[in-house]
Structure 1
Amino acid sequence: MDTHVLEVDTRRRRTVDLTDEVRDFCASRGDGLCNVFVPHATAGVAILETGAGSDDDLVETLERLLPRDDRYRHAHGSPGHGADHVLPGLVAPSITVPVSGGEPLLGMWQSVVLVDLNRDNARRSVRLSFVSG
């Protein structure tokens, strides 16, 4: 298995498009599967359209579903930080993309994005792993 770790700063954006990095990682690897994994308890990855508003819509929807208040049992960090720990139940911490000839088989409008609503930690690691098929 080949693997590479990306270091991502989420201070300016709650979603970060990782598609180019995933494509670059897969480019010389042939056929197989690329797994994108976020080893954090408060972030996830998703496949969605970016640039047309869907990424902002996702963040707004998650913030409505996970309000920042004192309802959470997990209560440390900034107010409402417990919501960040619920996020991976809605946005999975990993996805797997099929790869053919070194090209991720994403649909025309699909992008791989890191989703991070956590205001307490802006430094994220994303592990890309490739298994040949």
Structure 2
Amino acid sequence: MPRTFTTSVLHITTGARETVTDLTHDCEQFLARTAPTGDGLLNIFVPHATAGIAILETGSGSDDDLLAALHVLLPADDRWQHRHGSPGHGRDHVLPALVPPHATLPVIGGRLEIGMWQSVCLVDTNISKDNRQVRLSFLG
């Protein structure tokens, strides 16, 4: 059976503050265009050293809770060896070790198979860079 591979890049503006941006709708639109009835895998990848992809509930405060937890784990202060950019920017370079820059999710019948309360999110703590690319790739 032949396999298909399709890829597209989202351009996301996150602004000048730390954000958790819900990409679920973008992922669903991509799948509707590229794999309306297909089964396979959706890979989401952010090619930046200071951002990550998380699967979590949004809208109920979990997105703010994630940012608060990251502040505790990765304080924006002068403890970091990586010192260029805004104060505490070194922590942004540690973020992908905790919130990886990728996720691979199942697609069944053209639909993203995630839980009812789960969302695909871009996590960006780098306030110095407000434009991000996110690559969506479907293998089916």
Bin for the TM-score computed over the shorter chain: over 0.9
Q: Name the counterpart of 1:125.
A: 133
Equivalent of 2:105, from 92, 97, 109?
97
Q: Which segments of 5 or more consecutive residues in structure 1 lack a partner in the other structure?
A: none
- Residue of structure 2 in register with 1:19 after alignment: 24
Q: What percent of counterpart residues are identical?
A: 60
Which runs of at least 4 in structure 1 moved beyond 6 Å after TM superposition? none
Report Cα offsets for 1:26-52 as digits up to 9, x if no partner: 124111000000000000000000000
What is the CA–CA distance in structure 2 between the aligned matches of 1:99 and 1:65, rounded to whole Å?
33
Distance in structure 1 (CA, Å) of the matches to 2:132 and 2:46: 8
Aligned to 2:12: 8
The separation in 2 between residues aligned to 1:55 and 1:69, in whole angstroms, is: 22
Q: Which residues of 2 match residues 65-76 of structure 1 at below 5 A?
A: 65-76=73-84
Shift of 1:13: 5.7
Q: Deviations over 1:82-127 (max 9, x none)?
A: 0000000000000011001110001000000000000110100000
User: What is the TM-score of this pair, normalised by structure 2?
Assistant: 0.92
More off after superposition, 19-28 vs 103-112: 19-28
Gaps of 5+ in 2: none
- Residue 64 of structure 1 and its aligned partner are, at CA, apart by 1.4
Distance 2:81 2:18 in 1: 27
Q: Normalising by structure 1, what TM-score?
A: 0.96
Q: Which amino acid aligns with 2:48?
A: H
Q: Which residue of 2 aligns with 1:86?
A: 94
What's the C-alpha RMSD, in Å, of the aligned pairs?
0.9
Return the alpha-carbon distance in structure 1 between the equivalents of residues 86 and 116 of structure 2.
38
